[in-house]
Amino acid sequence: MTIDVVELGVAEAQRAMARGELAARELTQAYLDRIAALDRAGPRLNAVIETSTTALVDADALDAERARGRVRGPLHGIPVLVKDNVDVVGMVNSAGSLALAEHRPRCDAFLVARLRDAGAIVLGKTNLSEWANFRSKHSTSGWSSRGGQTRNAYVLDRNPCGSSSGTATAIAASLATVGVGTETDGSIICPASIGGLVGLKPTVGLVSRAGIIPIAISQDTAGPMGRTVADVAALMNVLAASDDDDPAGAVARAHVAVDYNACLDANALGGARLGIARRQLGFNAAVDAAIDRAVAALRAAGADVLDVEFATYGRWREAEAEVLAYEFKHGLNAYLANAGIRPGSLEELIAWNDAHRERAMPWFGQDRFVVAQAKGPLTDRAYLDARANARRLAGEEGLFAVLDAHGLDALIGPANGPAWLTDPLAGHQFSGGGASAAAVAGSPSITVPMGDAHGLPLGLALLGRPYSEPRLIALAHAFEQATRARTSPRFLPHLDTD
């Protein structure tokens, strides 16, 4: 039986399985075949770093459960790809680094255990920007020493952004139904928008970080990536859960009992109040034009869109950099020690990279690692002040102040510029946009396709208050339904500029 999985959504696949027209094994095999045809051959997307050796066995078991009348929920039998910085039993967790190429975790990450309990099939791991783009300021998004360079599914010589590059390209190319990415600042929003996807960066702590190779406990989170808001909501229903082993889990406990599928209101923009800070614009004419069209569509759907001033915009960056350096050293040392592996600390990792420089660092170095290694404990006054300043400038005096001053449901803006050419010598060339304020403030953001620039997808970002995921999902869904802006990738070798 030939199954067309291109653009296949969670609900559509679930209905087909309920009618007996599709089995989890057939669906899983179809994705594995597509990975072989598009990721390993054909355009060679290089998005999936490893596939599960038990995926088909897991699918058979879930099909048997369904035959006995047991269906665990909307993800029963749905294949999911997970970023290669999340612990999955039976697969390597390397953060894309050759130094961890033999690290096979003893336990699933909290979120992976949730996926399995919900009946999802962990199809494989996705490539990423090595160490989630934290090894060097000169890194190339989508490149790792273990996985190589992930390509952009829309135009192959363009960059997929990062650090959740492999998840974005894989889901854009329909190599799985949905995927899991992680973000510290932009690592879900940027690749999702450049990949023509919906990506949700949750409130910090709403999705457990236990079993994820860390950057910064103040900002890290995992989140769903999908081709539609409905698919993201379905995955979020499983990912959102209070975990006592997560430092922010106790605070999140009151906010996890939400049915995100119930938030899919096509009329949610009626009466909504949205703000746009024009200082986010002006870096690209095509982005400005797309935002103008998006604002017109929002207003046509009943939203009130206001121009607002964001006085502290970008002023948190220096403090954020200090926080990330301190927390990376502390968090990584704890993760490596708990895993019981070598390299067993950031100091040992730096030495390993130096000793294997030709293979591990052919394009860029480890300057961020060196800066982080020089930092002291999390009791240092420099760290405590930086953490307070970053949160204040991005949150209380920044995003939250703007939302409160105008009674806004969300702040909107461009999630990205057009994808740039991948160039390992030039490194990351991010041009503008993003949702950094929400990342630093620890609050949620979502990106939804709003159009393209000569075939390169552009996303509309919506930023909200902590735990406002239900409202952001509703607004994003209504915009998606009003515009239908997403197009499938065509795997073009390059832009035709003639």
Please list the active-site residues.
83, 163, 187
CB 336 within 8 A of CB 343: yes
- Cα 258 to its chain centre, rounded Å, is 21
Q: Which helix (H) or strand (E) holds 295?
A: helix 285-300
CB atoms near residue 102 (< 10 Å): 10
Collapsing DSSP to helix, strand or coil, 46 comes out as coil
Compute the 3-state secondary structure of the chain and give helix, strand, coil in percent, each to the nearest 5.
Answer: 40, 15, 45
Q: How many CA atoms lie within 13 A of 282 on its CB side?
A: 4
Residue 388 φ then ψ, to 5°: -65, -40
- Tokens read off for 163: 């650090």
Q: Which helix (H) or strand (E) holds 410?
A: strand 410-414
CB 92 within 8 A of CB 125: yes
CA–CA distances in Å: residue 74 to residues 207, 226, 258, 310: 18, 15, 15, 40
CB 323 within 8 A of CB 368: no
**b/e map 465-480, b = 16+ CB within 10 Å:** bbbbbbbbbbbbbbbb
Residue 266 φ then ψ, to 5°: -65, -15
- Rounded CA separation 198/227 (Å): 6
